[in-house]
Amino acid sequence: MGVPSISFKNPVVTRYFPDDAVSYVDPASAQNLATAMLALAKDPEAARKQADRASEVMAELSWAKQKLIYLDVLDRMAGK
């Protein structure tokens, strides 16, 4: 979507999104969230780069690519 993201660190998100694709913040601190939001607002170029990197990651997770992996697993399980 072209929008930079801020997230709490959790195993699911960190598995797929490296630090340069998402701004991670401590879930126990509203101040950390505010700081991350202000940092992105004050540096539009960094925000754009982060959003672009997240888009690159998402492209790899698209169904068009993931279905090939899924179908390969099914083929291997079926002995093809």
* 1 within some domain: no
Which residues, at least 6 apart from 50, have a Cβ–Cβ distance to it below 8 Å?
Answer: 4, 5, 20, 21, 22, 23, 40
In tens digits, the chain (80 residues) has pLDDT values of 888 999 998 999 999 999 999 999 988 889 999 999 999 999 999 999 999 999 999 998 899 989 999 999 999 999 87
Domain of residue 29 covers 6-77
Q: Is 25 inside a domain boundary?
A: yes
Q: Number of folded domains in the chain?
A: 1
**Inside any domain, residue 33:** yes
Residue 19 lies in a domain: yes
Per-residue DSSP letters for the chain?
A: -----EEE--HHHHHH--TTTSEEE-TT-HHHHHHHHHHHHH-HHHHHHHHHHHHHHHHHTSHHHHHHHHHHHHHHHTT-
- Quote the pTM value: 0.75
